[in-house]
A = this chain, B = another copy of it.
Amino acid sequence: MPRPPLWVMRQAGRYLPEYRQLRARHDFLTVCRTPELACEVTLQPIRRFGFDAAILFSDIMMPLESMGVELAFNPGPVIGHPIRSRKDVEALVVPEEGQVTPFVGEAVRLLRQKLEVPLIGFAGAPLTLAAYLVEGRGSKDFSRLRAFLYQEPEAALLLLDKLAVTMVRYLRMQVAHGAQAVQLFDSWAGLLDPDTYRTFALPAVQKVMAGVADLGVPRIYFANDAQALLPTIAEVSAEVLGVDWRMPLKEVRRLTKDRFVLQGNLDPAVLFAGPKVVSERVRAQLAQTQGLRHIMNLGHGIMPETPIDSVQALVDTVKQFPGT
């Protein structure tokens, strides 16, 4: 049985000295918007660690500018005019495919010329994008989003639908330029109870998934902190399900009826515990998933302060598995 493939969420990012060096000269938005820089940053972790896939360096909020959203980063996303009413939702533009962040398409095209491993494109799931749009910025619990769903259900559904249509176009554009898989990040799905998730989040996820189904690329759905939602998530039309570290993969598999290749779910905090602990934990994880359909990854994005030697230990342990 060969080892599982390995990549790491946010593998292009601040834990890498070469990324910090580049960022000292260019701010975050400039890197996102300049295809040559986005391409370079995407390649950095591939060069250093030889991950089995690259993921485009960008931010889930980027395509929202094409919808007319005023967007800044400080350092998390800040929305100029948060969405709080049906009128706000109606004012959002649904851009045509060619109008959604063309610089991302160009970055993908450049990357495919240089990459020898598959390139994963991505988008934010509608619920997660709506969370930022309604709240106006990051939050511990996005209670304004949930209040909006409860108080203005029809406006919320319209918002989620507009986001879904835009994300379909955004992902189609990425695949047209060369992305070989797509991941939909639902970082805030876990804020909802199953009924609310089924009413609001799920239809929009399904719309995105259906909208890219004909492209024939693997579709990855990453749902964070979503343990209570797994029986509902089992219905999502995706090939791969990414999950955080909070539930053993065996239990995830059971609750989702073994419908997905699972991706994850090493706790990113393990990487702060030193290379020895990393190797032990990674080996334990791999032993448990051996023979099952599994893509090795962290359960969440790698943290900016992560020591490089821990990442190296992760990579070495996976590449040497099962070893001699």
Contacts and interface: CB of A to CB of B under 8 A. Distances in A.
A251 interface: yes
19 contacts: A143-B268, A143-B269, A145-B269, A146-B270, A146-B272, A147-B269, A147-B271, A150-B267, A150-B272, A150-B273, A150-B281, A151-B273, A151-B274, A151-B277, A190-B225, A190-B246, A191-B246, A193-B248, A195-B248
Contact of A147 (B140, B141, B225, B270): B270
Closest 10 CB pairs of A and B: A147-B272, A146-B269, A151-B273, A143-B269, A150-B273, A227-B228, A227-B227, A228-B247, A147-B269, A147-B273
Contacts of A192: 246
Given A227-B227, A272-B151, A277-B151, A146 B193 contact: no
A303 B145 CA distance: 14
A282 to B, nearest CB: 12
Interface string A254-284: 0000000000000111111110010001000
A144 interface: yes
Nearest to A280: B150
A28 interface: no
A245 interface: yes
Contact of A150 (B193, B194, B270): B270
Contacts of A207: none
